[in-house]
C-alpha cells in the first residue's frame, strides 16, 4: 500500500500547497524557503471538572451568617434603646398635679412599723418620721413637712368614715376647707377605697394662716374600716395633688397590711 504524501503549507500565509508546487499560489512565496509540513494536531482530553459547589451555594453561607449577625445587632439595639427611652421618658414626663392614681415608688429606707392591737392591721412608715400619738386603734405620725394618721373603726362604711373625718377637723384651725378633687385609684393596702383631696387655711398658734392640702382615704375589709388622713403644705405647681410628700403617703397606703 503506497504511503500518503504529507500536505505542505505555506510558511508565510499558511495556505495549502499543491503537490510539486514551487511557489505559493496565494502569496507567491517560494516553496523551498517557506513550505513546511503541517504540524500534527494534538487533542488533549478535557480536564476533569472540579467538584466545586455552584457559585450561588458558595455565596449563600456568608450571606446567611451576615444576615444573622445583623438581626442579632438589631435586636440588641432595640432592647438597649427601649430601656434607655423608658428611663428618659420616665424622667421627663410632666408632673401630675391633680386627681392622680397611685404610683409605684421606691421603698422607703429604714422602715418602722405600727400594729393596731384592736384591729390587727399593720402600718409601715419611714423611721425618719416621729410618733406623735398612738393607741390600740391607730397612730399619728409627724413627717418631714406635715403629718399623717391611720385610724381604724368598725360598724361604718368608707364613705361615712371619710365624711366624719372631715367633720371632726377643728374649725378654729381648719378654715376655708374646699374640695379639690376625688382621688381616683384610692386604696389602702390591696383594698380599693374612696378618697378626696381638700385645700384649706391652717391657723397656727400665732394665728398665722398657712395654705395646706390634705387627703382623706377610707377602705373597709372584714368589718374593719380604716381612714388615712395626710396633711402637707400646699404646693399645687410642683407636686401631685399639691402635696409634696404625696408619694411617701401613697407608699404608706401601699405597704398597709390588713389583719
pLDDT at 146: 96
What does the domain layout of the chain look like in residue ranges? 1-40, 111-254
Write down the residue that cell numbers 373603726 correspond to: 153
Please tell me the predicted confidence (pLDDT) of residue 221: 96
Cα radius of gyration (the chain):
49
Q: What per-residue confidence (pLDDT) applies to 213? A: 97
pLDDT band at 15; cut points 50, 70, 90: confident
Alpha helix ranges (H) inside the chain: 31-34, 55-92, 158-167, 246-254
CATH architecture of the domain covering 111-254: 3-Layer(aba) Sandwich (3.40)
Element (H, E) at 212: strand 209-221
Residue 16 pLDDT level (bands cut at 50, 70, 90):
confident
Q: Which of 144, 137, 146 is nearest to 224 (CA)?
A: 137
> Could you give the CA distance from residue 15 to residue 8 in angstroms, rounded to a whole number?
9
What is the full DSSP assignment across 127-184?
Answer: TTSEEEEE-SSEEEEE-SSSEEEEEEEESS-HHHHHHHHHHTS-TTTEEEEEEEEE-T
Judge whether residue 92 has pLDDT over 50: no
* Pairing outcome for strands 209-221 and 16-17: unpaired
pLDDT tens digits, 193-247:
999 999 999 998 788 899 999 999 999 999 999 999 999 999 999 998 999 999 9
Amino acid at each position: 500500500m503506497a504511503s500518503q504524501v504529507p500536505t505542505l503549507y505555506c510558511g508565510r500565509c499558511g495556505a495549502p500547497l499543491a503537490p510539486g508546487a514551487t511557489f505559493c499560489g496565494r502569496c507567491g512565496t517560494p516553496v523551498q524557503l517557506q513550505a513546511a509540513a503541517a504540524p500534527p494536531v494534538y487533542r488533549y482530553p478535557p480536564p476533569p471538572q472540579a467538584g466545586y459547589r455552584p457559585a450561588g451555594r458558595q455565596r449563600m453561607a456568608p450571606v446567611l451568617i451576615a444576615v444573622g449577625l445583623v438581626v442579632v445587632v438589631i435586636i440588641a439595639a432595640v432592647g438597649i434603646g427601649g430601656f434607655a427611652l423608658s428611663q428618659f421618658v420616665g424622667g421627663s414626663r410632666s408632673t401630675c398635679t391633680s386627681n392622680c392614681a397611685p404610683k409605684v415608688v421606691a421603698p422607703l429606707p429604714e422602715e418602722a412599723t405600727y400594729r393596731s392591737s384592736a384591729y390587727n392591721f399593720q402600718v409601715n412608715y419611714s423611721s425618719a418620721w416621729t410618733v406623735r400619738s398612738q393607741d390600740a386603734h391607730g397612730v399619728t405620725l409627724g413627717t418631714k413637712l406635715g403629718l399623717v394618721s391611720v385610724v381604724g373603726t368598725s360598724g361604718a362604711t368608707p364613705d361615712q368614715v371619710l365624711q366624719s373625718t372631715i367633720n371632726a377637723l377643728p374649725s378654729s384651725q381648719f378654715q376655708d376647707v374646699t374640695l379639690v378633687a376625688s382621688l381616683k385609684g384610692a386604696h389602702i393596702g390591696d383594698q380599693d377605697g374612696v378618697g378626696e383631696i381638700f385645700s384649706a387655711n391652717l391657723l397656727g398658734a400665732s394665728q398665722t394662716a398657712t395654705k395646706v392640702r390634705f387627703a382623706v382615704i377610707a377602705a373597709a375589709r372584714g368589718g374593719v374600716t380604716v381612714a388615712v388622713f395626710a396633711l402637707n403644705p400646699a404646693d399645687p405647681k410642683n407636686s401631685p395633688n399639691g402635696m409634696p410628700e404625696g408619694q411617701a403617703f401613697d407608699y404608706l397606703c401601699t405597704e398597709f397590711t390588713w389583719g
